[in-house]
Amino acid sequence: MHLIIIFLALGLAYGLRYVDFLTSSKWLVRWQISLLLFISPPLLLIATAIAVICMGPQGKMLGFSTGWVSYILAWIFCGWTAILGLALAYQGWQSVQKVNNYPQINIAGKSVFLLDNPILFSAQIGFWDSKLVVSKGILERLNSEQLDAVLNHEQGHYYYRDTFWFFWLGWLGKIVPFLPKTQVLWHELLTLREIRADQWAKKQVDGLLLAETLLLMVSDRFTEQNNFYAAYSCTTPPNRLTERIDAILAETDFSMEQKSYWFWSWILLNFLPLITMFFHQ
């Protein structure tokens, strides 16, 4: 019976990923649907595995016997998710320790860590209380207005704690890389994250200046992505750059902060497999 529950959860996880998520022109709805479709399948599988482990390999459920196969599979999956999470956390911790060795300077009243590199680079690195890193290239090649645009964008990432939340999202994505649209949804969330930070910066600086600075930094180079980075240009997929610029120059409201009870209701539905424990005897 437990194997049936596992296969049902897998089938539902696959089915959720085939939902067409690019159907709304409203940014809040687009953000919430993309987030739901990205996190629901792994949360559903984790809840199912925990339920199977808690019920154990012995006993019956709705008249059907249980066995060791499903129990072992559940432990393997939970072990894999735990090891993967610890590995990613260790990588993030190493990055933070590396940043702590960089010289610390003050720019426009903000404390930043200086990367000795001529490229144009800025990023929030860390977890909840992330650290802002900028390269020497930023200080040498950008004027004061462009630098202010970059700093305000990074402040948007810090305000929304993007490094912390996207660390967990990156972990969930790596748990189920075999599911369809994992990379597509991940790039969608990265793009929407950058648009949200752009809109934060746009409240402080001119939108045209922000777009010009973005183009300048992106044209300089692309760097390797990390799930705990929140950077001005690094994490934007090249084919989504135009979308970011259009959003910066538009006059539309791109708010993604409104409360939505249906969103959290759907999140709670992912833990329904835990209810199956009450039917185990």
The answer to whether residues 220 and 234 touch, using CB atoms and an 8 Å cutoff, is no
pLDDT at 230: 65
Q: Which amino acid, residue 129? A: D
Digit-by-digit pLDDT tens for the chain (281 residues) are: 566 777 787 788 888 888 765 555 677 888 888 899 999 999 999 998 888 888 777 656 555 556 667 788 889 999 999 999 999 999 989 989 999 999 999 887 888 999 888 888 888 998 998 999 998 988 988 898 999 999 999 999 999 999 999 999 999 999 988 888 899 899 889 988 988 999 899 988 888 998 888 888 887 655 444 555 666 555 555 567 888 888 888 876 666 666 667 777 888 888 887 776 665 55
pLDDT at 51: 84
Q: Which amino acid, residue 82? A: A
Closest residue by Cα to residue 180 from 22, 64, 20, 2: 20
- Going by the DSSP 8-state scheme, the letter that residue 227 receives in this structure is T
Question: Helix H segments across 56-67?
Answer: none
pLDDT at 52: 83
Cβ count within 10 A of residue 177: 9
**What is the C-alpha to C-alpha distance for residues 129 and 116, in angstroms, rounded to an integer?**
23
pTM attached to this predicted model:
0.84
